[in-house]
């Protein structure tokens, strides 16, 4: 095969696919990217057998064909090339000649037949939604995923398509974040899966070059076809779509609904950014041994304080509309800051009952985050 591509377009394409590549010495082919001509574009494909990515970039295809080359080595070479244009030529054999300006490289590859194909599967469940909507949903909940490998079913985001909506949930047992989005879900298409945390990170990284994303899944794997707007200024040479396919987390997600309090006694409205800043400042005087801040609600006032014997104290106050009894609750400051950072809204609602009950952040559009309190010192 032989093609000429814009250097930045090639670099952008390799950036999309290189993250899934590990360093499996037992299968060297998994360190490579499959480069294939498909009409007037190039497809770039990588896989680690758990997750695979394929993207398309614009190129001047002079001879059709395919080759696999070590993706990280190719990426490092491509980003340092001196000229705007890059010519890659592999006329037979498993090596490729790379030419750009006065630079010439010869890179050894591996036989294309050794490259494991990305799985194709029937569209048992298929949905289309806006990329920006899915991106915001994942940002709203992803921080609450568990990192405890002993609780593997919590190491991801739970997707549930049913009752005319998509519900995304993440929890680590100490907090739970949930976000919903209305969509048409027929009974025969309803279903759910747990998306692994690594795939969540990749999906968030890959979206943003187009309008829609198609989600297809069965009981073993899920695919996201992320459509590209070829004419967008920020497409950076990407074309058609980015295809991300992943295994799903095996097992049943726990009954998250029983964690959400049925009722709370008090509800206050507060400026999201202001509260985030107050919590962040108060957390500066906490320590690993005293990693909690206290929130006190009294008449028309919300007080945020942090302290530790070896550092000192911090006190913040926010005017609120509140006429209930004095209540003081302690929380992990990071658990408060995570949803406040993720949400795009200017105002949030905080619901609580007493010092032993969970606190709940809510917005007006189907988001909530339940945070377990800490024992007051």
pLDDT digits over 60-85, tens only? Answer: 999 999 999 999 999 999 999 998 99
- pLDDT given at position 210: 87
The percentage of residues in the chain with a pLDDT greater than 90, rounded to a whole number, is 81
Q: Determine the average pLDDT of the residues in 130-158.
A: 94
Return the domain boundaries, the chain.
2-114, 125-256, 262-371
Cβ(348)–Cβ(272) below 8 Å: yes
Considering the entire predicted model, what is its pTM?
0.92
Choose among 329, 366, 372, 364: nearest CA to 348: 364
Q: One fold for both 2-114 and 262-371?
A: yes
Give the pLDDT band (50/70/90) at residue 25: low
Report the side by side order of strands in the sheet with 66-70: 66-70, 32-38, 41-47, 51-58, 238-247, 221-227, 212-217, 125-130
d(CA 156, CA 154) in angstroms, rounded, equals 6
Tell me what pLDDT residue 48 has: 93
Q: Which of 118-132, 195-209, 314-328 has the lowest mean pLDDT?
A: 118-132
Query: Which CATH entry fits the domain spanning 2-114: 2.60.40.730, 3.30.420.40, 3.10.150.10, 2.60.120.1060?
Result: 3.10.150.10
Task: Average the pLDDT over 96-113 and give the result.
Answer: 93
- CATH architecture of the region 262-371: Roll (3.10)
> Tell me: the pLDDT tens digits for 262-318?
888 999 999 999 999 999 999 999 988 889 999 999 999 999 999 998 899 999 999
pLDDT at 43: 96
Amino acid 22: pLDDT: 76
pLDDT at 4 over 90: yes
CA distances from residue 308 to 318, 335, 347, 377 in whole angstroms, order as listed = 22, 18, 30, 11
Average pLDDT over residues 104-125: 89
Identify the weakest region by mean pLDDT among 25-34, 225-234, 299-308. Answer: 225-234
34-49 per-position pLDDT tens digit: 999 998 899 999 999 9
Q: What is the pLDDT of residue 234?
A: 65
Name the architecture of domain 125-256.
Answer: Roll (3.10)
Residue 231 reports pLDDT greater than 80: no
Q: Does residue 376 surpass a pLDDT of 90?
A: no
For the chain, the average pLDDT equals 92
pLDDT at 26 over 90: no
> What's the DSSP call for residue 218?
-
CB proximity list for 146: less than 8 A, separation 6 or greater: 154, 155, 171, 172, 173
Q: Within 171-309, where are the H helices?
A: 197-206, 272-283
Residue 123's pLDDT is 67
173 has pLDDT over 90: yes
Taken in order 259, 260, 266, 269, the sign of the CA dihedral is positive
From the list 30, 36, 57, 34, the residue with the least C-alpha distance to 45 is 34
Give the confidence band of 170 by pLDDT, cuts at 50, 70, 90.
Answer: very high
């Amino acid at each position: 095969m032989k093609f000429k591509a814009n250097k930045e377009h090639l670099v952008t394409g390799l950036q999309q696919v290189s993250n899934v590549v590990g360093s499996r010495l037992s299968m060297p082919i998994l360190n490579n990217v499959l480069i294939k001509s498909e009409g007037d574009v190039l497809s770039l494909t990588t896989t680690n057998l758990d997750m695979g990515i394929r993207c398309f970039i614009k190129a001047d295809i002079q001879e059709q064909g395919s080759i696999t080359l070590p993706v990280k080595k190719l990426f490092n070479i491509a980003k340092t090339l001196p000229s705007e244009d890059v010519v890659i030529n592999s006329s037979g054999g498993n090596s490729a000649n790379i030419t750009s300006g006065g630079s010439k490289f010869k890179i050894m590859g591996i036989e294309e037949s050794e490259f494991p194909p990305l799985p194709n599967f029937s569209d048992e469940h298929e949905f289309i939604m806006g990329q920006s909507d899915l991106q915001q949903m994942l940002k709203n909940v992803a921080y609450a995923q568990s990192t405890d490998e002993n609780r593997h079913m919590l190491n991801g985001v739970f997707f549930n398509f049913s009752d005319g909506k998509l519900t995304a949930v993440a929890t680590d047992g100490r907090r739970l974040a949930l976000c919903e989005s209305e969509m048409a879900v027929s009974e025969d298409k309803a279903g759910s899966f747990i998306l692994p945390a690594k795939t969540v990170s990749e999906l968030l990284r890959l979206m943003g070059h187009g309008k829609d994303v198609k989600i297809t899944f069965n009981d073993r794997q899920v695919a996201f076809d992320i459509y590209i707007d070829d004419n967008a200024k920020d497409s950076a040479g990407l074309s058609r779509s980015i295809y991300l396919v992943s295994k799903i987390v095996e097992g049943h997600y726990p009954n998250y609904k029983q964690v959400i309090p049925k009722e709370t006694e008090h509800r206050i409205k507060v400026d999201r950014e202001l509260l985030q800043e107050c919590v962040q400042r108060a957390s500066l005087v906490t320590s690993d041994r005293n990693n909690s801040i206290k929130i006190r609600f009294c008449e028309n006032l919300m007080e945020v304080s942090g302290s530790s014997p070896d550092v000192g104290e911090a006190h913040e106050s926010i005017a609120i509309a509140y006429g209930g009894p004095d209540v003081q609750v302690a929380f992990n400051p990071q658990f408060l800051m995570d949803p406040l950072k993720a949400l795009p809204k200017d105002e949030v609602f905080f619901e609580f009952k007493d010092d032993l009950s969970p606190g709940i952040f809510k917005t007006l559009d189907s988001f909530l985050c339940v945070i377990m309190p800490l024992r007051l010192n």
